[in-house]
Amino acid sequence: MNGSLSYDEKCSCAKSTFCIYVSQSQDFESSEKHYLVKTITNNGFFGILYVSSVLAGWAIVAGLIESILFPGIIAYAIFHGVVDYKVLTPPILFLFGNILAKLVYITHNLRGKVKPLDILIAALPYAGSAYLLRKFLVKDKLMRKAVTMCLTSQKEKVKKKLLGVFSKKQ
């Protein structure tokens, strides 16, 4: 399979954990591996998958911040009996700042790979990662299978590492 790849494709594949997973997987035939590697390297799928994973982590961090920020504002409003622009400004600024930062990040990293409408939808809070994956995986069943298997494999590795850390402490 690797013999038919160009030098640039081999370099691009070597940078992608997903591409390495696909090329080393025993679950795909040689022709399927070739198709997947070509799709990953030539269509910029690696970038979309990477941005999608960053957006998933971003949503978790934003959710943690909002779970602290919003109840804090509600408690402040209840104890001080004040609901005005001073109280509502932090969550509104966080929301708009979060969307603006995502727009810049997605536009910078996926320039030319996705349409402007896709960038706007992907920048919405909590929806970006799922939208990008759905948009680019729904048409390609083989790619969807490969991504699902790779994510399952990554999840198992993380579980093993976490169990290893917690079992050493006991």
For 107-163, write each residue's pLDDT tens digit: 998 887 888 898 888 888 888 888 888 887 767 888 888 888 888 888 888 888 878
On whether residue 130 sits in a domain, the answer given is: yes
On whether residue 32 sits in a domain, the answer given is: no
The DSSP result for 81-109, as a single string, is T--SHHHHHHHHHHHHHHHHHHHHHHHHH
The whole-number pLDDT of residue 104 equals 94
22 CB-side CA count, 13 A: 31
The whole-number pLDDT of residue 115 equals 87
Q: Tens digit of pLDDT for each residue in 14-69? A: 777 788 888 888 888 888 888 888 887 776 677 787 888 888 888 888 888 888 87
Helices within the chain (DSSP H only): 7-14, 17-24, 30-42, 45-80, 85-109, 116-122, 128-137, 141-169
On whether residue 1 sits in a domain, the answer given is: no
On whether residue 87 sits in a domain, the answer given is: yes
The whole-number pLDDT of residue 73 equals 81
The pLDDT of residue 71 is above 80: yes
- Secondary structure class of 16 (helix, strand, coil): coil
The whole-number pLDDT of residue 32 equals 87
Q: What's the structural domain count of the chain?
A: 1
Q: What's 3's DSSP letter?
A: G
- Token pair 């909590």 is found at 126
Which residue from 44, 5, 40 is spatially nearest to 20, judged by alpha carbons?
40
On whether residue 50 sits in a domain, the answer given is: yes
Q: Tens digit of pLDDT for each residue in 72-110? A: 888 877 887 777 777 778 888 888 999 999 999 999 988
- Domain of residue 51 covers 43-164
On whether residue 47 sits in a domain, the answer given is: yes
On whether residue 53 sits in a domain, the answer given is: yes
pTM of the full structure: 0.69
On whether residue 169 sits in a domain, the answer given is: no
